[in-house]
């Protein structure tokens, strides 16, 4: 059996086209232009690239962006003052503080300073708390986890009642995607570095999400035949045949696992493109909510 590919890149493109249409309608009907602020502290090249990509995608769909940059030795007070200024700016509906912050800064305090209504990354503790509670809905769900749910939905995978196993329990991927799967009535098992006999647990999964950051860790005999495998990992492995000297692989051994799985995401081109698509969507939700327009809420 060879798994069918879940084309994250194609799905993200479709979503981007839908959002472009929606932004045009908001502008026409209400004169509303969604706005996103990306906050960068320091000159981390990877962070600069991520911010550039996010702003480029925003421009493509018609979302206005500003990109304040603070020096790498900015103080806690300076960063929080900038966040407060953006909280008060009515043209800005989403604030994204690019992580990681330089180590002298208190990350949680900065994330706490972002207005709940503008927390488009969904990392504010109150939004995470609402995500964890039954019958509560966060104002925004984190982007990579909601991108995973969107991939499953648009592939026609049913979630309710399925055995879902999530490898990884990080605040940005493993834990929130587990909570989203639970909200959708999957039976969820969360694994981590102290879990015993991982393959025995992953073999139970109808839906397997791998978010560990370990190159090609998930092998064919870890996967139940026909399972849906979502590979979040982005890992560099040396490859002298490539011009840049490395290639990107996921947490799943794609060549092996595609022979067993029913559906599988590639790396790159699977989960990655969905993260930015969900950021765009969250920014539009924030703008609609601020303007009191219907649709300014996320579905639980």
* 193 contacts ligand NDP (rule: CB under 6 A): yes
CB of 172 to ligand NDP, least distance (A): 5
Q: Which residue carries 């959708």 as its tokens?
A: 184
* 170 contacts ligand NDP (rule: CB under 6 A): yes
Which among 14-22, 124-132, 166-174, 241-249 is the span making contact with ligand NDP, rule CB under 6 A? 166-174
* 211 contacts ligand NDP (rule: CB under 6 A): yes
Q: Is 54 a catalytic residue?
A: yes
Give every strand in the sheet of 228-231, ordered side by side.
4-5, 263-264, 228-231, 207-210, 163-167, 187-191
* 194 contacts ligand NDP (rule: CB under 6 A): yes
* 144 contacts ligand NDP (rule: CB under 6 A): yes
Q: Is 121 a catalytic residue?
A: yes
Q: Is 98 a catalytic residue?
A: yes
On whether the CB atoms of residues 13 and 269 are closer than 8 A, the answer is no
Q: Which of 15, 32, 58, 172 binds ligand NDP (CB under 6 A)?
A: 172
Question: Binding string to ligand NDP for residues 248 to 277, with x set by CB under 6 A, is what?
Answer: -----------------------xx--x--
* 173 contacts ligand NDP (rule: CB under 6 A): yes
Considering beta carbons, is residue 145 or 286 the nearer one to ligand NDP? Answer: 145
* 42 contacts ligand NDP (rule: CB under 6 A): no
- Kindly name the residue from 16, 118, 119, 121 that is annotated as catalytic: 121
CA distance 137 to 154: 21
On whether the CB atoms of residues 298 and 137 are closer than 8 A, the answer is yes
* 192 contacts ligand NDP (rule: CB under 6 A): yes
- Residue 165, SS3 per DSSP: strand
Hey, how many other C-beta atoms are within 10 angstroms of the C-beta on 276? 21
- Kindly name the residue from 98, 118, 183, 253 that is annotated as catalytic: 98
On whether the CB atoms of residues 276 and 12 are closer than 8 A, the answer is yes
For strand 263-264 and strand 163-167, is the pairing parallel, antiparallel, or unpaired?
Answer: unpaired
Q: How far is CA 230 from CA 148, 157, 210, in A?
A: 8, 12, 6
CA distance 278 to 272: 11
Positions marked active-site: 54, 98, 121
Q: Which residues bind ligand NDP (CB under 6 A)?
A: 144, 167-170, 172-174, 191-195, 198, 211-214, 232-235, 271-272, 275
């Amino acid at each position: 059996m060879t798994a069918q590919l879940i084309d994250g890149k194609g799905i993200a493109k479709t979503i981007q086209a839908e959002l472009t249409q929606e932004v045009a309608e908001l502008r026409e009907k209400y004169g509303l232009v969604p706005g996103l602020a990306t906050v960068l502290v320091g000159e981390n090249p990877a962070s600069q690239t991520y911010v550039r990509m996010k702003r480029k995608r925003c421009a493509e769909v018609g979302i206005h962006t500003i990109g304040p940059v603070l020096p790498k030795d900015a103080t806690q007070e300076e960063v929080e003052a900038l966040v407060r200024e953006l909280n008060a700016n009515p043209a800005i509906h989403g604030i994204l503080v690019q992580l990681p912050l330089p180590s002298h800064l208190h990350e949680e305090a900065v994330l706490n300073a972002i207005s709940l209504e503008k927390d488009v990354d969904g990392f504010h503790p109150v939004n995470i708390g609402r995500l964890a509670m039954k019958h509560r809905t966060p104002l925004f769900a984190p982007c990579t986890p909601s991108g995973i749910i969107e991939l499953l939905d648009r592939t026609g995978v049913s979630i309710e009642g399925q055995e879902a196993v999530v490898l990884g329990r990080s605040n940005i991927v493993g834990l929130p995607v587990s909570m989203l799967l639970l909200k959708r009535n999957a039976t969820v098992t969360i694994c981590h570095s102290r879990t015993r006999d991982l393959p025995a647990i992953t073999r139970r999964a109808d839906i397997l999400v791998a978010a560990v950051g370990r190159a090609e860790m998930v092998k064919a005999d870890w996967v139940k035949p026909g399972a849906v495998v979502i590979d979040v990992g982005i890992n560099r492995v040396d490859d002298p045949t490539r011009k840049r000297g490395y290639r990107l692989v996921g947490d799943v051994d794609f060549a092996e696992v595609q022979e067993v799985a029913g559906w599988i995401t590639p790396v790159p081109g699977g989960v990655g493109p969905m993260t930015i698509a969900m950021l765009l969507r969250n920014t539009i939700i924030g703008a609609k909510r601020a303007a009191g327009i219907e649709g300014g809420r996320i579905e639980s």
